[in-house]
Homo-oligomer: A and B are copies of this chain.
Amino acid sequence: MDLINWDNLIDSAMTIGGQLLLLIIVYLIVAPLGKKAVTSGVEQTAKRQKLSEGRTKTLQNLLVNVFTYVLLFFFIVTFLGILGIPLGPILAGAGIVGLAIGFGAQGLVTDVVTGFFILVEKQIDVDDYVTAGGHDGIVEELGLRTTKLRGFDGTLHYIPNRNIQVVNNHTRGNMRALVDMNIGYSENIDEAIRVLQNVCDQFTGDERLKAGPDVVGVQSFGSSEVVLRVIAQTEKMEQWGVERDLRKAMKESLDEAGIEIPFPHHVVLNRNEQ
């Protein structure tokens, strides 16, 4: 008997060789086909969703990368498996490490998944004024992992996308300007509404305005004041300017008409000590 059984060796080498060949051929066919499929799939979706070109590129890169890594992983694992290198324990061991990393990296995946949908659903655009992750600001940059907001005071907020749950976009459509004016309890409400509506009417034609402003009525009773509410619909980002102008004009009109904007009132009962 020979020390080495050449027949068996050659035999199994042939088998293994054939399998490897098959594997490589499959890989060489699947890889470019898959990439093309991913690329054109994104493109068509982008066209249908009317995504900008930059956004389409970002998504294509992401998905082609994911596809390549997954394919490579399967290729290597199968390759080693065919060579008969015991993969079970390696993968089991990797599993343990992987679990620890998986827990740690979980946030990263959540970032990308969330970022992906923010991009695709066009919830946010650069230069939008939004509230996200507990911070207000103008969007400076949209990333798959991080979104950057420039806050009103100039601070740059780096918000991991996982922290973005509800997005409040303040630049999708018209905004509402709202001013509450206080008048005294002893004033005539009809008269006050007439005065305020006059002011509102002077704003007609202001190009920042889409509708109104109008006095909607008695909103509430304060401890010393009757609150009248005025509402207008404005171009986006113009609501604060309109509110400031409305406030100034209405205050001056009430003064002119002699209608009191009341300070806090107290009734004092002076009693002598018993």
A residues 158-184 with Cβ under 8 Å of B?
158-160, 163, 165-170, 172-176, 178, 181-182
Tallying the copies of this chain within the complex gives 7
- How big is chain A's contact interface, by range? 35 or more
Is the Cβ of A106 less than 8 Å from the Cβ of B103? Answer: yes
Q: Does A4 contact B (CB under 8 A)?
A: yes
Q: Does A11 contact B (CB under 8 A)?
A: yes
Contacts of A10 in B (CB 8 A): 3
Q: Write the nearest CB–CB distance from A2 to chain B, whole angstroms.
A: 9
Q: Name 20 extra pairs, CB < 8 A, besides A155-B175, A224-B263, A226-B251.
A: A3-B7, A78-B90, A94-B96, A95-B95, A98-B99, A99-B102, A133-B165, A152-B176, A153-B178, A155-B169, A157-B168, A158-B169, A159-B166, A218-B244, A223-B264, A263-B265, A264-B265, A265-B268, A268-B268, A269-B271
Is the Cβ of B93 less than 8 Å from the Cβ of A92? Answer: no
Is the Cβ of A112 less than 8 Å from the Cβ of B104? Answer: yes
Contacts of A16 in B (CB 8 A): none
A residues 82-137 with Cβ under 8 Å of B?
82, 85-110, 112-114, 117, 121, 123, 131, 133-135
Contacts of A266 in B (CB 8 A): 263-269
Is the Cβ of B170 less than 8 Å from the Cβ of A154? Answer: yes
